[in-house]
Amino acid sequence: MLELRDATYRYAGYANPAIHDVSLRLDDGEIVGLVGANEAGKSTICLVACGLAPASVGGGLEGSLTIDGEPMKGRPVHELAERVGIAFQDPATQRSGIAATVFEEVALGPMNLGLPARETIARVREALARLRIEDLAGRDPARLSGGQGQLVAIASLLAMRPRHIVLDEPTAQLDPEGTRLVATALRDLAAGGTALLIVEHKADLLDGLCGRVAVVAEGRIVADGPTATILADERLAGWGVEPPSRVRLARALAARGLDPAVVGAAS
Amino acid sequence: MESVGAFVIGGYAGPLAIVAIVLASALVARVAGRLVRVSLLLTLPIAISVVLVSVFTRAGTTVLFTIGPFDATLEGVQFAAQTVVRLFAISGAISLFGMTTDPRAFVYDLERRGLSPRFAFVAAATVEAVPAMVARAGVIAAAQRSRGLDTEGGVVARARGFLPLIVPVVLSSLTEVEERSLALEVRAFGRPGRRDLLWAPGDRTAERVLRWALFVGLVAVAAGRVAGLVPRTP
């Protein structure tokens, strides 16, 4: 379980905090969506939740980050890396640039941990298998599609064997097929017990993926609850989030005097 | 080592010999065309300023022609020509290294020799960054042109278009570097201690002999320069 409690984080050189009093809990195997307008503070929450802020990014954090009940304050990032990983939106910036094959790319993390080569190889094979991308092992990581590249980035995290993964807009640069690939992989990961925190603008994706959704506005969590409830909240548009197509269609039907229940029945 | 050699040797013969070696190696590696283009691109901005400054401001006894208060001297032309050849030799040698060296082999080899993976990665990332930045600059230039920015034409038009081009290139590069370094951090890149590498670059006898030959050559040239046997730049 990963838990942020009353987290207020201020970037170095800034007077005002980017996030205020954020409390968020992520249980094992749970998929939690994080939505909000641009600049709402979602990415900052991701950085704080995985310990990169302030350990690597700098700045100041009040409140706490605990993983499985242990406080993470003051721990070096390489120690946190075995407990929580983060994937960013651009697969290209997550490539090390020094690996000739996907296998070597995924192996970089375990190698950095100082594991024996045999253990590294076993972890890479397992990570590729969990995402069903073993066939990419021999490919050049720079010559993959966006979806494949994002899966390799996630596999690189899985090889570190964290129990929690934070994904900051993992499908932002992907086409529908790439998005489908990543969504399927995330569902499988959660089924295997990995807890996922996903920042995403595509409400439709979260609608079918998450058990819970939290809304961020002006650096605060303003709503947190079951996905169906939050994504149907009338205030969602005011927070800069477009409701999923299911909700929009139901509202359009209701506005024309038709029964919106047919949407639920159809889906 | 070749680029350092080009820096040490004055005159024309030494730097031109290095250019010949670099071009012959590039032909063998089938990167000659790209190497010449990149080296010219790297050399040109500095070469232009060197020529302008040297030809018109370097003191000399033989005046070739005069523009306003400035005398173009033969000595200035000679100095500029030698400097440009040396610059081309240096950028050619560096470009050849970048184009023919597998970054993975470079990193692993440095690490095998006891350097920190962090240092090795920074060195490899620097080699890798140039083509990525050129590609990004191309995309940004196309985007700016589509919004009416004039990035071609005369010197004034190009100068006016430079700032809107370079600011997004630099800012996007910084953002990318930050995200790249964070992505590495969460893969325990900052962990101290040795790593058990999966792969070691091959190091054939011929390669070792060539490396030592280059090193010995460099030491000989440096010694020759100190002893006054190798020509200095005028």
pLDDT at B2 over 70: no
pLDDT digit string (tens) for A116-173?
A: 999 999 999 999 998 889 999 999 998 999 889 999 999 999 999 999 999 999 988 8
- Cβ <8 Å between A115 and B196: yes
Percent of chain B past pLDDT 70, that is, above it, reads 85
Report whether A181 contacts A151 (CB < 8 A).
yes
Contact residues, chain A, for B189 at CB < 8 Å: 78, 108, 112
Instruction: Based on the fold, state whether residues A41 and A78 are members of the same structural domain.
Output: yes
Q: How close is the nearest chain B Cα to the Cα of A118, in Å?
A: 9
- Cβ <8 Å between B187 and A57: no
Phi, psi of A38 (to 5 degrees): -60, 145
pLDDT of res. A17:
96
A65-74 burial, b at 16+ Cβ within 10 Å, e below that, comes to: bebeeeebee
Instruction: Based on the fold, state whether residues A112 and A171 are members of the same structural domain.
Output: no
Here the tokens at position A233 are 């909240």
pLDDT of res. A209:
93
Question: Does A257 reside within a domain?
Answer: no
Task: Give residue B1's pLDDT band: very low, low, confident or very high (50, 70, 90).
Answer: low
pLDDT of res. A263:
66
Contact residues, chain A, for B107 at CB < 8 Å: 98
Question: Does A252 reside within a domain?
Answer: no
Contact residues, chain B, for A156 at CB < 8 Å: 187
Task: Give residue B232's pLDDT band: very low, low, confident or very high (50, 70, 90).
Answer: low
Which of A48, A96, A120, A124 has the highest number of chain B CBs within 10 A, making it the mutation to test binding with B? A96
Contact residues, chain B, for A112 at CB < 8 Å: 117, 187-189, 191, 195
Task: Give residue B233's pLDDT band: very low, low, confident or very high (50, 70, 90).
Answer: low
Q: How close is the nearest chain A Cα to the Cα of B126, in Å?
A: 11
- Cβ <8 Å between A93 and B102: no
Instruction: Based on the fold, state whether residues A96 and A228 are members of the same structural domain.
Output: no
pLDDT of res. B234:
59
pLDDT of res. B8:
61
pLDDT digit string (tens) for A77-119?
A: 989 999 999 999 888 888 888 888 999 999 999 999 999 999 9
Here the tokens at position B164 are 């809107």
Split into its structural domains, chain A has a count of 2
- Cβ <8 Å between A52 and B176: no
E strand spans, B10-131: 63-67, 70-73
Domain ranges of chain B: 1-101+217-234, 103-200
- Average pLDDT value for residue range B101-119: 78
Phi, psi of B202 (to 5 degrees): -70, 150
Rounded Cα distance between A62 and A49, Å, is 13
pLDDT of res. A187:
92
Q: How close is the nearest chain B Cα to the Cα of A86, in Å?
A: 7
Task: Give residue A40's pLDDT band: very low, low, confident or very high (50, 70, 90).
Answer: very high
Instruction: Based on the fold, state whether residues A167 and A78 are members of the same structural domain.
Output: yes
More confident residue, A209 or B201: A209
Instruction: Based on the fold, state whether residues A156 and A172 are members of the same structural domain.
Output: no
Question: Does A104 reside within a domain?
Answer: yes
Q: How close is the nearest chain A Cα to the Cα of B181, in Å?
A: 9
pLDDT of res. B48:
87
pLDDT of res. B13:
80
Q: Count CB neighbours of B101 within 10 A.
A: 14
pLDDT digit string (tens) for B200-223?
A: 778 889 988 988 998 898 888 888
pLDDT digit string (tens) for B26-56?
A: 999 999 998 898 888 888 888 888 888 888 8
Whole domain around residue A157: which residue ranges?
Answer: 92-161
Least confident residue range of B4-18, B62-76, B133-147, B164-178: B4-18
Nearest CA in chain B to A103: B198
pTM of the entire structure?
A: 0.76
- Cβ <8 Å between B182 and A57: yes
- Average pLDDT value for residue range A22-47: 96
Rounded Cα distance between B160 and B168, Å, is 15
Instruction: Based on the fold, state whether residues A195 and A79 are members of the same structural domain.
Output: yes
Rounded Cα distance between A161 and A47, Å, is 19
CA atoms lying within 13 Å on the CB side of residue A125: 6
Which of B187, B189, B197 has the highest number of chain A CBs within 10 A, making it the mutation to test binding with A? B187
Question: Does A38 reside within a domain?
Answer: yes
Instruction: Based on the fold, state whether residues A129 and A199 are members of the same structural domain.
Output: no
Rounded to the nearest 10 degrees, what angle do helices A102-112 and A117-130 cross at? 130
Radius of gyration of chain B (CA): 22
Instruction: Based on the fold, state whether residues A78 and A199 are members of the same structural domain.
Output: yes
Q: How close is the nearest chain B Cα to the Cα of A177, in Å?
A: 24
pLDDT digit string (tens) for B79-98?
A: 888 888 888 998 999 889 88
- Cβ <8 Å between B182 and A86: yes
Looking at every residue in chain B, the average pLDDT score rounds to 81
Contact residues, chain A, for B199 at CB < 8 Å: 104
Question: Does A260 reside within a domain?
Answer: no
Contact residues, chain B, for A113 at CB < 8 Å: 188, 191
**Out of B102, B176, B191, whose CB is closest to A112?**
B191
More confident residue, B20 or B234: B20
Taking CA atoms, A187 is separated from A82, A121, A171, A193, B37, in Å, by 21, 25, 14, 10, 49
CATH number at residue A36: 3.40.50.300
pLDDT of res. A265:
62
More confident residue, A223 or B142: A223
pLDDT at A193 over 80: yes
pLDDT digit string (tens) for A234-260?
A: 999 999 999 999 999 999 999 998 887
pLDDT digit string (tens) for B162-185?
A: 777 777 877 887 888 888 888 888
More confident residue, A263 or B76: B76
> Which residues of A lie inside 8 Å of B (Cβ-Cβ)?
47, 50, 52, 56-57, 76-78, 80-82, 85-86, 88, 90, 93-94, 96-100, 104, 107-109, 111-117, 120-121, 153, 156-157, 160
Question: Does A262 reside within a domain?
Answer: no
Rounded Cα distance between A48 and A166, Å, is 10
More confident residue, B57 or B150: B57
Q: How close is the nearest chain A Cα to the Cα of B106, in Å?
A: 9
- Cβ <8 Å between B188 and A112: yes
Nearest CA in chain B to A167: B183
Omega of the bond prior to A54 within 30 degrees of 0, cis?
yes
